[in-house]
């Protein structure tokens, strides 16, 4: 970006002013430009607990036996997530073909404008959110799509159902092999 800072220096004897670049200011400006996201870019999730202002928004689909969490960027993503949830639910209980009801909700962080807005607090809130969704759906499986959901999830929670991590739903939609891998992972690792 090369922002230069000019310092005006008057020559002794009343001569013309001479411009000098302040090297420390130039280095700092270049460091800020290099480390900052481009204008208009959405800053991604922070990876340390020291970040005071973490933001996340995730979509959730829950049905009997399964909870799916990720970010649906368009109608095709949402439809695929819905289809995956129904396929997993019906695979574990074929009698549910007629009675499957899908609940849709959203996890937003921060939930309020006050209080702790760190990633640690977001993880705790997401853990409670997932637990509630899983209990209501009697879930045997939670499928997390994308990096944000994966970052917030806690695999060490013994009370939680089996967690299956996947790339973003858009990547799944674009790759038939990823769909096959998801199906094999869920069908082999989730109790019926």
Check whether 185 has a pLDDT greater than 70: yes
Gap between the Cα atoms of 7 and 154, Å rounded:
53
Average pLDDT over residues 13-36: 42
What backbone torsions phi and psi does residue 145 show, to the nearest 5 degrees? Answer: -105, 125
Bridge partners, residue 104, by sequence: 61
- The pLDDT of residue 122: 92
Give the range among 53-57, 94-98, 134-138, 162-166 with minimum mean pLDDT: 94-98
State percent of the chain over pLDDT 70. 66
Give the range among 44-48, 77-81, 84-88 with minimum mean pLDDT: 44-48
- The pLDDT of residue 99: 63
Check whether 27 has a pLDDT greater than 70: no
Gap between the Cα atoms of 146 and 169, Å rounded:
7
Alpha carbon 139 to chain centroid distance? 21
Q: Quick check: pTM over 0.95? A: no
Strands 141-145 and 162-166: parallel
For residue range 124-147, what is the model confidence (pLDDT) as tens digits?
999 999 999 999 999 888 999 999
- The pLDDT of residue 18: 43
Kindly report the average pLDDT of the chain as a whole number: 75
Nearest to 169 by CA among 42, 44, 83, 55: 83
Check whether 117 has a pLDDT greater than 90: no
- The pLDDT of residue 123: 93
User: Which domains are seen in the chain, by residue range?
Assistant: 6-35 (no CATH), 56-189 (3.30.420)
């Amino acid at each position: 970006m090369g922002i230069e800072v000019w310092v005006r220096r008057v020559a002794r004897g009343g001569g013309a002013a001479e411009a000098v670049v302040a090297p420390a200011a130039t280095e700092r400006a270049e460091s800020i430009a290099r480390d900052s996201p481009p204008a208009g870019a959405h800053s991604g999730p922070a990876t340390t607990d020291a970040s005071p202002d973490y933001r996340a928004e995730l979509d959730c689909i829950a049905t009997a036996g399964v909870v799916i969490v990720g970010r649906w960027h368009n109608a095709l993503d949402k439809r695929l997530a819905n289809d995956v949830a129904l396929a997993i639910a019906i695979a574990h209980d074929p009698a549910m073909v007629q009675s499957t009801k899908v609940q849709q909700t959203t996890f937003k962080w921060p939930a309020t404008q006050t209080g702790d807005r760190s990633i640690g607090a977001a993880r705790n809130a997401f853990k409670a959110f997932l637990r509630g969704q899983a209990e209501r759906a009697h879930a045997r499986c939670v499928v997390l799509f994308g990096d944000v959901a994966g970052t917030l999830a806690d695999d060490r929670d013994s009370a939680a159902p089996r967690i299956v991590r996947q790339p973003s739903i858009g990547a799944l939609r674009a790759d038939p092999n990823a769909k096959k891998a998801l199906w094999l992972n869920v069908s082999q690792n989730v109790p019926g």
